[in-house]
């Protein structure tokens, strides 16, 4: 095999140590092997960088080890070194002979022949934005947990507020819970704190708010509401920071928001997870595969064994699946038509993944080409094969026992269902 890189290095990264191996190929013979071990303290990482530079190494491959590989990448990426982050599942050491020095040499050998597949690592500003958007997701999950705990305390006190109000922590619900924490016992007084349309349910509210609230319940609610306010305050500050950092890409996010189902939060997630440079992804299919939003391929002897999707970016997958579900509640657009077209044959879950896949493909072309979303229309599939649509609808009517006669419509006639007005 042809050697692509005559001076390369493999790094086997651990929590407290790094095993490094440099291979230097000269005149097509056996490579010169240089091995060293470094700790993961900052001064030793700087020494590692100086050692690689003095050895005139051009290519470095390091194993992806989660958070332990990030400080190594952050220090080595500033300079002339070409870094490659490698998924451990994509290379294997010799069975029964696994040691750190052998792993680092195996990495270096595969790198020298160009047999390693690099993982996607966005630039540092995008990585920092990704940290913020992912932290916001975790804070939202914490908020949901606190919401559920408040609901459990109310149920324990036999306060059935959720049976009447849609959101127990809405404006009216929060006012009632605050009244309970203050020590108000009267169900009539608590029900009177309802606002807006919830006041139409005052009789039901009086029944739902008549429970057995103890001092322990009030203590729990007071603490949980404090936690809720603290998390809400964090989320607000975090969203302000995300907006500020995403401001240079405001035009791109505005164009992404023209896609049905994509809101500003989903646009943040797309920007943070895949960045603004689509060069690492040759086409939309590669991006969908990386995100885990395309059908799996497991085939043997011409037989399809499984079509389950692979594991991918779970934050991106979650956001796009939520957007796909939002699309299913819209009307008269291509994506909603695609959702119900697939849901009728294969179910809601596969339809959600299929629409999420399509959303990612559209976003890829918008980011790469700089265009905007162009709506194909809710009747796109009907117009794609009009004769099939006609025959299918005729068969359905005939199955109901009707005799169907078709004739072309007069071009000057008004469409069915319209109410023409005489001029």
Confidence of residue 414 (pLDDT cuts 50, 70, 90): low
Burial of 144 (0-12, 13-18, 19+ CB in 10 A): exposed
> CA dist 146 to 72, 141, 227, 287, Å?
37, 9, 7, 36
Whether 405 maps to a domain, the answer reads: no
Whether 102 maps to a domain, the answer reads: yes
Sheet of 82-86, strands arranged across: 32-39, 17-24, 7-13, 59-63, 82-86
Q: Are residues 315 and 343 in the same domain?
A: yes
Q: Are residues 180 and 263 in the same domain?
A: no
Q: Which of 230-234, 272-276, 378-382 shows the lowest mean pLDDT across its residues?
A: 378-382
Q: Which of 28-32, 246-250, 316-320 shows the lowest mean pLDDT across its residues?
A: 28-32
The domain of 77 spans 7-112
What is the reported pLDDT for 66?
A: 85
Q: Are residues 301 and 203 in the same domain?
A: no
Q: Are residues 230 and 295 in the same domain?
A: no
Whether 407 maps to a domain, the answer reads: no
Q: Are residues 277 and 338 in the same domain?
A: yes
* Average pLDDT of the residues in 154-161: 94
Buried b (16+ CB within 10 A) or exposed e, 36-68: bebebeeeebeebbebbeeeebebbbbbbbeee
Q: Are residues 319 and 347 in the same domain?
A: yes
Residue where a domain stops, chosen among 247, 282, 306 = 247
Confidence of residue 411 (pLDDT cuts 50, 70, 90): confident
With H, G, I as helix, E, B as strand and everything else as coil, classify residue 39: strand
Whether 403 maps to a domain, the answer reads: no
Mean pLDDT estimate for the chain: 90
* Average pLDDT of the residues in 269-282: 94
Q: Are residues 259 and 364 in the same domain?
A: yes
Q: Look at the chain and report how many structural domains it folds into.
A: 3
Q: Which residue has the higher pLDDT, 144 or 411?
A: 144
Beta strand pairing call for 32-39 and 17-24: antiparallel
289-327 tens-digit pLDDT: 999 998 776 666 777 766 778 788 899 999 999 999 999
Residue where a domain stops, chosen among 247, 269, 298 = 247
Whether 280 maps to a domain, the answer reads: yes
Query: Do residues 61 and 8 touch, judged by C-beta distance below 8 A?
Result: yes
With H, G, I as helix, E, B as strand and everything else as coil, classify residue 62: strand
192-228 tens-digit pLDDT: 999 988 999 999 999 999 999 999 999 999 999 999 9
Confidence of residue 95 (pLDDT cuts 50, 70, 90): low
Q: Are residues 130 and 78 in the same domain?
A: no
Q: Are residues 100 and 137 in the same domain?
A: no
Q: Which two tokens stand for residue 381?
A: 């599939």
Q: Are residues 61 and 136 in the same domain?
A: no
pTM over 0.75: yes
422 has a pLDDT exceeding 70: no
Q: Which two tokens stand for residue 278?
A: 């689509």
Domain with residue 137: its CATH number is 1.10.287
Query: Do residues 33 and 22 touch, judged by C-beta distance below 8 A?
Result: yes
DSSP secondary structure, 64-101, as one string: --GGGGHHHHHHHTSSS-EEEEE-GGG----TT---HH
What is the reported pLDDT for 413?
A: 64
Phi, psi of 277 (to 5 degrees): -110, 115
What is the reported pLDDT for 423?
A: 36
Hey, how many other C-beta atoms are within 10 angstroms of the C-beta on 326? 17
What is the reported pLDDT for 412?
A: 67
Confidence of residue 3 (pLDDT cuts 50, 70, 90): confident
> CA dist 182 to 185, 217, 219, 423, Å?
9, 11, 10, 67
What is the reported pLDDT for 88?
A: 83
Burial of 3 (0-12, 13-18, 19+ CB in 10 A): middle
DSSP code of residue 249 = G
Q: Are residues 227 and 255 in the same domain?
A: no
Q: Are residues 82 and 107 in the same domain?
A: yes
Q: How far apart are CA 103 and CA 20, in angstroms?
A: 9
Domain with residue 17: its CATH number is 3.30.420.10
Q: How far apart are CA 268 and CA 242, in angstroms?
A: 8
Whether 165 maps to a domain, the answer reads: yes
Whether 210 maps to a domain, the answer reads: yes
Residue where a domain stops, chosen among 224, 247, 270 = 247
Q: Which of 191-200, 220-229, 244-253, 410-419 shows the lowest mean pLDDT across its residues?
A: 410-419
> CA dist 166 to 154, 159, 170, 229, 362, Å?
15, 14, 8, 20, 35
Helix (H) or strand (E) holding 160: none
Q: Which of 123-127, 138-142, 176-180, 297-301 shows the lowest mean pLDDT across its residues?
A: 297-301
157 has a pLDDT exceeding 70: yes
Whether 32 maps to a domain, the answer reads: yes
Q: Which of 69-83, 90-104, 245-259 shows the lowest mean pLDDT across its residues?
A: 90-104
């Amino acid at each position: 095999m042809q050697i692509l890189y005559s001076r390369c290095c493999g790094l086997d990264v651990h929590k407290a140590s790094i095993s490094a191996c440099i291979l230097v190929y000269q005149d097509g013979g056996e490579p010169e092997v240089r091995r060293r071990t470094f700790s993961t303290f900052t001064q030793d990482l700087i020494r590692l960088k100086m050692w690689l530079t003095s050895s005139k190494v051009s290519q470095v491959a390091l194993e992806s080890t989660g958070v332990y590989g990030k400080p190594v990448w952050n220090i080595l990426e500033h300079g002339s070194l070409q870094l490659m982050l490698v998924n451990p599942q994509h290379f294997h050491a010799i069975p029964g002979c696994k040691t750190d020095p052998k792993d680092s040499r195996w990495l270096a050998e595969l790198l020298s022949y160009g047999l390693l597949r690099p993982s996607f690592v966005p630039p540092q500003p995008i990585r920092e934005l990704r940290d913020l958007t992912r932290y916001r997701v975790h804070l939202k999950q914490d908020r949901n947990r606190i919401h559920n705990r408040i609901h459990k305390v109310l149920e324990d006190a036999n306060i059935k507020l959720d049976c009447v109000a849609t959101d127990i922590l809405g404006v009216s619900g929060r006012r009632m819970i605050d009244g309970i924490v203050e020590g108000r016992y009267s169900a009539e007084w608590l029900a009177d704190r309802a606002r807006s349309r919830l006041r139409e349910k005052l009789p039901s509210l009086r029944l739902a708010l008549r429970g057995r609230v103890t001092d322990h319940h009030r203590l729990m609610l007071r603490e949980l509401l404090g936690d809720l306010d603290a998390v809400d305050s964090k989320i607000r500050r975090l969203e302000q920071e995300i907006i500020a950092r995403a401001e240079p890409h405001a035009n791109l996010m505005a164009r992404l928001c023209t896609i049905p189902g994509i809101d500003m939060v989903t646009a943040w997630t797309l920007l943070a997870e895949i960045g603004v440079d689509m060069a690492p992804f040759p086409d939309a299919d590669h991006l969908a595969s990386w995100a885990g939003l395309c059908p799996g391929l497991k085939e043997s002897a011409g037989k399809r064994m499984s079509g389950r999707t692979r594991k991918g970016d779970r934050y991106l997958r979650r956001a796009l699946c939520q957007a796909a579900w939002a699309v299913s509640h819209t009307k008269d657009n291509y994506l909603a038509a695609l959702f119900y077209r697939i849901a009728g044959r294969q179910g809601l879950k596969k339809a959600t993944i299929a629409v999420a896949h399509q959303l990612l493909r559209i976003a890829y072309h918008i980011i790469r080409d700089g265009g905007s979303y162009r709506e194909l229309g809710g009747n796109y599939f009907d117009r794609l094969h009009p004769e099939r649509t006609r025959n299918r609808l005729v068969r359905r009517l005939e199955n109901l026992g009707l005799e169907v006669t078709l004739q072309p419509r007069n071009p000057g006639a008004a469409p069915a269902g319209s109410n023409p007005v005489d001029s």
